[in-house]
Homo-oligomer: A and B are copies of this chain.
Amino acid sequence: MTTQGTIRVIQYGLGPIGSATARQIVEQDGLELVGGVDIDPAKVGEDLGEVIGLDHPLGIAVVDDLLTALAEKGADLALHTTNSYFDLFQSQLSEIFAAGLNIVSTAEELSFPWLAHPEQATKVDSMAKQAGKTVLGTGVNPGFLMDLLPLNLTALCRRVDRITVKRVINASTRRGPFQIKVGAGMTVADFTAAMDEGRMGHVGLPESVGMVFHTMGKTLSRYKASVEPVVADRLIKTDAVEVAVGRVRGLKQVARGYTDEGEFVTLTFIAALDEKDEGDTINIVGTPDLEVKLKGTNGDIATVAIAVNAIRRVNEAAPGLVTMRDLPVITNW
């Protein structure tokens, strides 16, 4: 453990994911956690180690202001874990660039914004280049399982006709807030109403479809998405929720990307209590046909890991908005 070459990181956002990335930064050789920023008054002023759930204090107070966090030691990079949407995070990125830091973010819409949010993408890219800094949006999904990994597997193919990815999560093994987020316990009517308002469902499928199409040089001529409830046929109880027969135990979400020749990418995301066969399956129809099955890609651990593991590559990258398909392989290190 040498301090030479150590990358100093500010944790920007101290919710469950941000606390977990901060803990991993603390245990990772080559990284130093130098500050924590959050707007929650219950956290501001408290010791960062205690806020993120370490069993010892770090001697650093949580602050609600980035410049204060930087005042003592400076920093190289901010790990940004506040929210998913451009509307909400764009001014935060601007603030971080102004402070002269690179950014790794878990914001889903940032993972590949060039197709779904081209204007905002161009703006963030310009901001980054003007500041001479690099920003990456990443996570297990979007960022890896439904975009980078299937793209990488197509390297083995002489021809690719169709890509399908199916991710199945047994929400019973996940945090209570996740169970609530996927609709567990709702009536079908409430679920449908929330869905119609665009409030239900996993964020990131358009970004994954966009990364696959754009990287493979295909034109996305049509995009179709659907969300439907998965209904319980027996009583389910967890620590967080009780689901009666006929109520919602989770959701099934499908995104389809089409070229002029037909459906090219199909992404299916199922997250429900009591769901069997948890795992990820990637099928590539082409020459040859490939089938890849993954077990163990726990969403929270994997998103936290990939964000922290990406820090080194982002720190080495050229300025601008980069995505997972632009960087050399990211590994645990």
Contacts and interface: CB of A to CB of B under 8 A. Distances in A.
Contacts of A140: 156
Nearest to A212: B331
A297 B156 CA distance: 7
Tell me how many chains of this kind the complex includes. Answer: 2
Contacts of A290: 294-297
A215 B331 contact: yes
B292 A332 contact: no
A219 B60 CA distance: 34
Interface string A272-300: 00000000000000111111111111100
A152 interface: yes
Contacts of A157: 301-302, 305, 309, 332
Contact of A288 (B159, B291, B298): B298
A324 B286 CA distance: 23
A252 interface: no
A71 interface: no
Contacts of A156: 140, 144, 297, 301-302, 305-306
Interface of A: 24, 140, 144, 148-149, 151-152, 154-160, 215-217, 286-298, 301-302, 304-306, 308-310, 324-333
